[in-house]
Amino acid sequence: MRKLWALASTLTLPRWAGEGMMLAVLVAYALLYASPYGLRVLTVAGVYALAAIGFQIVFGLGGALSLAHGAFFGIGAYATGILGSQWSLGFAATFPVSLLVPLLLALLVGLPVLRLESHYFALATLGIAQVVHLLAVNSPALTGGANGLPGVPGIVLFGWAVPRGLPLAAVVWGFVALGGLLAWTLARGRWGRALTLVRDDPLAAGTLGLDVGGLRLAAFALSAVYAGAAGALAVHTQRVVSPEVLEFPVMVSVLTIAVVGGRGRVAGAILGAVLLLHLPEWFRFLERSYLIVYGVALLATIVLAPHGLTGLLDRLFPSRPAPLPKPAAPPETAIPMGPLLRVEGLTKGFGGVRAVDGVSLTLEAATITGLIGPNGSGKTTLVNLISGLETPDGGRVMMGNSDMAGQRPDRIARAGIARTFQAVSLPEGASVLAAVAAARLERDGSIALAEAHALWALERLGAADLAAKPCAGLPAALRRRVELARALARRPAVLLLDEPAAGLTDGEKAELAGHLRAIAATGTALLVVEHDMGFLLPLAGHVLCLDQGRTLYAGPPEGVRSDPAVVAAYLGEGA
């Protein structure tokens, strides 16, 4: 067994190999082995696979646990059921409506609920689902009430009435193939990469120029379209629509399929749907005990394969690593000499505490400004205000002639301001190259170009050898270098660094200082927040000291150690 595992671990397959083998097995089963009842189960599995593919977009890629997905499924089903049974409209008319109605509802409710975080978003979407279910049950004139609507016609394509059995299964799985191809293409492209970064670190995503709210809304709306399509196909399969399509078990099934199959993976949605729909049939011979065995099998899958079945297959048969691109410098942005950023009277309070109180500063091109002060003095809050992560109560942040105060982080980033964070946050499941390339997703036209520009940034900081390594497990010094490369890849006019030397050795600090001087020499203005005076004072040309949100000192670094106020509030008498 160990030899087989070792042999499997040495095999590498093309990225499409798993999906191809899965498709071949499904086709062979449908054509050669499936009974009429087996084809019906396979058809229903296709319906749930399509719904789960859509859920993978909002949940797997976007990280939003939308419990309204089952409601969108039911709305698509009712749109087809009402128009087909009561208005006698055919598939060509009802199917687009089943896509459009969930889409419009998702856009309507998505704007407010997507502002909520984590479990609050899940509860809000669950509330939406319950409201839709109650409306369906209590509107008998339109929906048939608790009894539903019978007599929904089957699918008619180009004058051909698709019969049940193999033809209907082929049509449903044809839609799964089209939907899966679209989702797979989006997930592997710039949009999917950007959405994954929003899931992993929404704060960093905004500061890299990505419209976090727009990406989440697009994912929510697109997932609703998939759910509506699946609901329409479900009704054509069953020929009746009832409130059951809006009940919570539908949502639970889709969520289970996504988790068991593999979060964020199209192949996971398909594999999970096929297994979860067929497992009860395989265990049916156990009679009353089959549900217990079914539950144990699902629990064992989650415990033994926490990243889903596709994650387990990736471990057994890893994909071939993609070759690294040739490094290419991003287009240069002309940086004018003189003042680039002016902060004027910036204030911010949290409750009764003034975190930033009337702070002003100017960052000149090709200069390094140090920002010091005791813990809690407002340094990080000031950086957050400049970069848009916090909204100021007053004051201005002037970038050229534009006041950026209170603007969204992505708009501030596009204006030429980049930053790093005090606690380095890199996507653990991504390679170093992919993490740095995220900085170029908003600007470059392709993943390949973004990665070429990212490799240039890594090469400039002497970290090109890290490109193929995973971010997970990198030591602190290398994580900070990767984060600096990500900020540098944007070619910013202004670069804000929050404690970039924290945790570094003296040799690593000296190397970092050399890199920062080289960046400033290109015209970029740097604001460096730091506690290590031995690192910062020889580096900076101007120093600002904050205490309790107010400016305590602003002047040359030579005067820091001799200023009585700075010594008393921050450095201490022994400095």
> Are both 124 and 155 inside the same structural domain?
yes
**Cβ contact 548:517 at 8 Å:** no
**pLDDT tens string for the chain (575 positions)?**
455 445 444 555 555 555 666 667 777 777 777 788 888 999 999 999 999 999 999 999 999 999 999 999 999 999 999 999 999 999 999 999 999 999 999 999 998 888 887 788 999 999 999 999 999 999 999 999 999 999 999 999 988 999 998 999 999 999 999 999 999 999 999 999 999 999 999 999 999 999 999 999 999 999 999 999 999 999 999 999 999 999 999 999 999 999 988 888 898 999 999 988 887 777 777 767 766 777 787 788 778 777 888 887 777 777 777 788 899 999 988 888 999 999 999 999 998 889 999 999 999 999 999 999 999 899 999 999 999 999 999 999 999 889 999 999 999 999 999 999 998 888 888 899 999 999 999 999 999 999 999 999 999 999 999 999 999 889 988 999 999 999 999 999 999 999 999 888 999 999 999 999 999 999 999 999 999 999 999 999 999 999 999 999 999 999 898 889 888 888 775 55
Number of domains in the chain: 3
Q: What is the pLDDT of residue 352?
A: 81
> Are both 503 and 475 inside the same structural domain?
no
For residue 71 the two structure tokens come to: 């409601």
CA distances from 135 to 71, 129, 141, 210, 508 (A): 11, 10, 11, 37, 64
Given 469, 491, 513, the domain boundary residue is 491
**Closest by CA position to 566, among listed 554, 549, 552:** 552
> Are both 507 and 458 inside the same structural domain?
no
Q: What is the pLDDT of residue 12?
A: 52
Q: What is the pTM of this model?
A: 0.89
Q: What is the pLDDT of residue 277?
A: 87
**Closest by CA position to 372, among listed 383, 364, 385:** 383
Domain of residue 537, residue span: 360-416+493-575
> Are both 456 and 569 inside the same structural domain?
no
- Which amino acid is residue 476, in one-letter code? A
pLDDT tens-digit profile of 4-35?
A: 445 444 555 555 555 666 667 777 777 777 78
471: Cα separation from own chain's centroid: 16
> Are both 520 and 479 inside the same structural domain?
no
For residue 354, being part of any structural domain is answered with no
> Are both 458 and 544 inside the same structural domain?
no
Q: What is the pLDDT of residue 458?
A: 96
Given 264, 293, 316, the domain boundary residue is 316
Q: What is the pLDDT of residue 439?
A: 95
> Are both 207 and 307 inside the same structural domain?
yes
Q: What is the pLDDT of residue 282?
A: 75
Which DSSP string do the residues of 333-366 spell out, in sequence order? PP--SSEEEEEEEEEEEETTEEEEEEEEEEEETT
Q: What is the pLDDT of residue 14?
A: 55
